[in-house]
Structure 1
Amino acid sequence: MINKLFKKMSTKPTTQNLVQPQPQQPANEMQQQKLYPDLQKNEELLRSIYDNCSDVIYRTMLIAGRKKAVLIYIEGLSDEAGIEDYVIVPLLREDLEQNMDISQFIEQNISVSQVNTVNTFTKCVEYLSNGNPILLCDNEASALALGLCKWEKRSIEEPVAEVGIRGPREGFTETLRVTTSQIRRIIKSPQLKMEAMKIGDYTQTNVVIAYITGLVDATLVEEVRNRLKRIQIDGILESGYIEELIEDAPYSPFPQLLSTERPDVTCGSLLEGRVAILIEGTPFVLIAPTTLFSLFQSAEDYYQRYVISTLIRWLRYCFMLVSLMLPSIYVALLTFHQEMVPSSLLISMASAREAVPFPALIEAMLMEVTFEALREAGVRLPKQVGAAVSIVGALVIGQAAVQAGLVSAPMVIVVAITGIASFMVPRYVSGIAIRMLRFPLIILAGTLGLLGIMLGLIAIVLHMCSLRSFGVPYLSSLATPNPSEWKDILIRAPWWKMDTRPRLTGYYNKFRQGTGQQPGPEQGNDT
């Protein structure tokens, strides 16, 4: 009986057995229809489509005292002052000449820069949803969509998640056209292309694919376009929706697309032959393809002197390894390899752990989970109390735990150093991946010692070697036998040395600048 129940639960339901929710067929059928010459019928059908929508405004008027018309717009999405000044007032004038056609009168009196002619209810709904008023006239089988959209939007501010000491202070906003304009203001070439599409059955979210022709691989653009077109979903509310639906390895903890809210980072990636995916409603832009080393690079690395940037980059790599391996190494040494610890340090650590009732593995897991909980609490709480709660909570809980004998003082120090090291990672998504992998390494260290750590690291490296980001290997820049590819990976070479683009993304236009630009005094000008 139980086996039959499990078999029944495990069988995949067929399409015949599933009851698919059917959309409202009459509304959809009406949207596909063309407009009628009868104004009253067009208005009734639009009212039925927007039934129970109190924010949809219908303004009936008599154009030039002769022709009946209806102006429809959505309150809060359209510029009501512009509608009044540039549409309603000019059209209500009654100085129509006898020999002037009413359509000619409308064209001459509507002082709006963008006016589009629509012939179907689908287009009417699309323009209305974007904030463009629709003007319907009697005895006309078409309507005019007026470019008078206006809604509340956030002003351009400094990015919160990608703060830098030197560099531009502006970040993207949730408004798509503001985002595209920020990129256009930096890259003024007409080779910068922006393809638009809509994703989401209900949200109809505007998505733009940005790339530079002549730099990007055409197959990469086609792959991005195909992956976006195959998305079938009710709505897109943030770039994370699209990221999970187009990445190569959905079960990997490592991000395969770079998310950024900085225009300079996006433009720098476009100039390297990459593709940017811009989504309406979020300030975060997705960059494809990406590599592991791109996630550990900061925009500020390219604005400071190359020596300082190289040192900071190496410091970042070292602390990334510290954040990943320090707790597991501590657990392995205390559990299996005490002979590797100096005698004086071992005696000090043993005396500190004398009253602790838990083994090192349980102690490390307890402290790591507590620290991660405090970190998340500091992020989710309001800014006024978040930092205070995280700092005070760490101090109070750490001191109380040591005094109560639940954890040892060396473990608190190890966890604190690990937490500080994790803050060195410039990308939040990369830091999350390291924080996730830290726990299985601690478990391996507590069960197999240093052998378990080595096995875990080998598994992580093998996994990264198998990863692809839109066909580009995750470790491509480091794995290449060409040392010239390492000048922006292991070090940050001076700008007069970085004369070529990355091989796998900038293959079609290899050189980004002229050679032989090393600065120095002019010959014969020495004083």
Structure 2
Amino acid sequence: MLSLFRRSKKSQKEKDFTKVLEQTNPSDSTDLPIYPSLEDNLQLIKKVFENSSDVNFRKIQVNETLKGLVVYIDGMADTKAIGDNVLKELLASYRKNPDQIQNKSELQNNVSFPSVQFTKEFKKVFSQILFGAAVLFADGCEEAMILSVRKGVRRGVSEPTTEASIRGPREGFTENLRTNTALLRFRLKTTKLKFEPFVKGEQTQTNIVLCYIEGLADKSVLDEVRKRLDRIEIDSVLETGYIEELIEDNPYSPFPQLQYTERPDAAAGQLLEGCFAIFVDGTPFVLIGPVTAWQMLHASEDYYERFYISNFIRWLRFFFLFVALFTPALYIAVTTFHQDMLPTTLILSIAAAREAIPFPALVEALIMELSFEALREASVRLPKTVGQAVSILGALVIGQAAVEAGIVSAPMVIIVSMTGIASFAIPKFNFAISIRLIRFPLMILAGAFGLFGIIIGSSVVIAHVAQLHSFGVPYLSGLAPLKQHELKDILVRAPWWKMIHRPSSYARRNLKRMKRGNQTAIK
């Protein structure tokens, strides 16, 4: 049964074993071979995994001359599969007929496990053990058998927590890379869906996958993504945020140039537009690129509801974007420099409310905005059972107390509250927090120069966004530069039977996604 357990002649490798053990870290060697002696291999592995209590060594003793060793990490490898599907059947088959198996292919057929590999190098052995595989060594053999027995120790598929929607699928990505790619395969049943593997992180050896649909994604964009991923040299990759900062076009811009999502349907929709996706093992968030500013204001359910409803909600988002960005600055500018722009009754009401306030409008606004941001951050960090109550009660109690104490005025509390609510209406968190950051420079400019300061700040922001790119795609693509057929899915969402073509900003080929005449005839 076990050609793997048959002893070979002693080679020079065994004679050099003492020198190998003297190395500070044998696992760094690129050409370290597997030794015929089982004890030599055992000592070498124990040296590499010294002070690692989770690494298990399970010896196999068939008879006096036939010995084996299984090495795996407890908690990552499925010990039940190792015992039931590998060791028991292997030993039972040998005892029944010792000469049954004469080569590796027959040995593989007698192991009830879907994935079996053979290797002669310790480099691959160490790598596979750290990824959750079990490795079988045999005394007298210079090859090891790698058994894919990785155990699913991570959480199962559940509803996304950061991208809630009223209508749409309830499945969300998980921390398991292969679960995530399978969730995407369930939605895109085509052979053109490609997954290109990368491994990044010297210490973490994190699996990364570049995903795209062949024939839709632009080749030049994909080549650029591959180059940027290949250039990454870092000791660890723990989340997609590492990759995002290392491959984006303009790392100093406050605006995100990549979108992240934990919704498989959102990722599938972007891939069908001609974008690419980057999966990272260990995180449920998937990077999507290239992106535009308009994409950051769209939600998945925009495409599931009828277009009348989608357009109404989309216009609300655009309105609240301006509210979140400009309302505090406009209030500061008008109350400080341009009081004549307001109706007399309104300005008198504001003046009466601010009569006992010791601070100028700018300082008052900064106090309230920073307090609101602190409450929002605290509500995220606190346990869910109390976080929501603390944020609501904190805002009410602190706001009311501040008004009664004469530190801030009641109109300022209203302005800050409206601004906070408006920022929550932006569906993408990384874009919403960029708006919140830009709001503070605009407030300072408004306090210094009034409406002229707001115009100056807005001009700088627009100029910056206009020159911003995401993997060669202009950030305002669709409006600047103008592409008429893309206007059907920017400020408005046209009916599906009108959106015949894909956005040419992403997909440079195969632009047509449906045939004309799909709409129902109106009588």
TM-score range (shorter-chain normalised) is over 0.9
Cα distance in 1 for partners of 2:361, 2:130 equals 59
SS of 1:501 mapped into structure 2: coil
Specify the alignment match of 1:147 in structure 2. Answer: 148
SS of 2:96 mapped into structure 1: coil
Q: Shift in Å at residue 63 of structure 1? A: 4.5
Q: Shift in Å at residue 28 of structure 1? A: 3.9
Cα distance in 2 for partners of 1:389, 1:64 equals 68
Cα distance in 2 for partners of 1:29, 1:148 equals 24
Q: Percent identity?
A: 49
Q: 1:381 aligned to 2:408?
A: no
Cα distance in 2 for partners of 1:193, 1:104 equals 30
Specify the alignment match of 1:410 in structure 2. Answer: 411
SS of 1:435 mapped into structure 2: helix
Q: Shift in Å at residue 104 of structure 1? A: 6.6
Cα distance in 2 for partners of 1:67, 1:287 equals 53
Greater displacement, 475-484 / 44-53:
475-484
Taking the TM superposition and a 5 Å limit, the aligned residue runs for 1:73-88 are 73-88=72-87
Taking the TM superposition and a 5 Å limit, the aligned residue runs for 1:480-499 are 480-499=481-500
Specify the alignment match of 2:136 in structure 1. Answer: 135
Cα distance in 2 for partners of 1:398, 1:59 equals 64
Q: Shift in Å at residue 64 of structure 1? A: 7.2
Q: How many residues align?
A: 499
Q: 1:292 aligned to 2:269?
A: no
- Cα contact 2:118–2:146 (8 A) shared by 1: yes
Greater displacement, 201-210 / 219-228:
219-228
Taking the TM superposition and a 5 Å limit, the aligned residue runs for 1:350-369 are 350-369=351-370
Taking the TM superposition and a 5 Å limit, the aligned residue runs for 1:335-346 are 335-346=336-347
Specify the alignment match of 1:101 in structure 2. Answer: 102
Q: 1:323 aligned to 2:345?
A: no
SS of 1:58 mapped into structure 2: strand
Shift in alpha-carbon separation, 1:425–1:99, aligned structure 2, 3 A: closer
Q: Shift in Å at residue 101 of structure 1? A: 3.0
Q: 1:254 aligned to 2:245?
A: no
Q: Shift in Å at residue 38 of structure 1? A: 2.4
Greater displacement, 60-69 / 454-463:
60-69
Q: Which amino acid aligns with 2:50?
A: D
Q: Which amino acid aligns with 1:110?
A: V
Cα distance in 2 for partners of 1:344, 1:191 equals 65
Cα distance in 1 for partners of 2:515, 2:64 equals 68
- Cα contact 1:501–1:507 (8 A) shared by 2: no
Shift in alpha-carbon separation, 1:107–1:35, aligned structure 2, 3 A: same
Q: Which amino acid aligns with 1:119?
A: K
Cα distance in 1 for partners of 2:432, 2:252 equals 17
Shift in alpha-carbon separation, 1:442–1:451, aligned structure 2, 3 A: same
Q: Shift in Å at residue 47 of structure 1? A: 1.4
SS of 1:481 mapped into structure 2: coil
RMSD of Structure 2 on Structure 1 (CA)? 1.5
Q: Which amino acid aligns with 2:379?
A: G
Q: Shift in Å at residue 65 of structure 1? A: 7.0
Q: 1:236 aligned to 2:260?
A: no
- Cα contact 2:478–2:484 (8 A) shared by 1: no
Specify the alignment match of 2:420 in structure 1. Answer: 419
Specify the alignment match of 2:50 in structure 1. Answer: 51
Cα distance in 2 for partners of 1:365, 1:383 equals 28
Cα distance in 2 for partners of 1:289, 1:56 equals 42
- Cα contact 2:466–2:480 (8 A) shared by 1: no
Q: Which runs of 5+ in 1 are unaligned?
A: 1-23
Shift in alpha-carbon separation, 1:233–1:98, aligned structure 2, 3 A: closer
Q: Which amino acid aligns with 1:309?
A: S
* Cα deviation code 1:160-203 (max 9, x no counterpart): 11000000001000000000000001001010000111100000
Specify the alignment match of 1:279 in structure 2. Answer: 280
* Cα deviation code 1:331-356 (max 9, x no counterpart): 00011001101001011110111100
SS of 2:478 mapped into structure 1: helix
Cα distance in 2 for partners of 1:450, 1:377 equals 33
Specify the alignment match of 1:442 in structure 2. Answer: 443
Cα distance in 1 for partners of 2:277, 2:433 equals 23
Cα distance in 2 for partners of 1:96, 1:108 equals 15
Q: Shift in Å at residue 102 of structure 1? A: 7.2
Q: Which amino acid aligns with 2:35?
A: Y
SS of 2:479 mapped into structure 1: helix
SS of 1:156 mapped into structure 2: coil
Specify the alignment match of 2:470 in structure 1. Answer: 469
Specify the alignment match of 1:159 in structure 2. Answer: 160
Q: Shift in Å at residue 26 of structure 1? A: 3.5
* Cα deviation code 1:218-238 (max 9, x no counterpart): 111111111111111111111
SS of 2:161 mapped into structure 1: coil
Specify the alignment match of 1:39 in structure 2. Answer: 38
* Cα deviation code 1:287-316 (max 9, x no counterpart): 011011111100010000001101111110
Q: Shift in Å at residue 92 of structure 1? A: 2.1
SS of 2:277 mapped into structure 1: strand
Specify the alignment match of 2:453 in structure 1. Answer: 452
Q: Which runs of 5+ in 2 are unaligned?
A: 1-22
Specify the alignment match of 2:503 in structure 1. Answer: 502
Specify the alignment match of 1:7 in structure 2. Answer: none
Shift in alpha-carbon separation, 1:430–1:423, aligned structure 2, 3 A: same
SS of 2:312 mapped into structure 1: helix
Shift in alpha-carbon separation, 1:126–1:305, aligned structure 2, 3 A: same
- Cα contact 1:64–1:91 (8 A) shared by 2: no
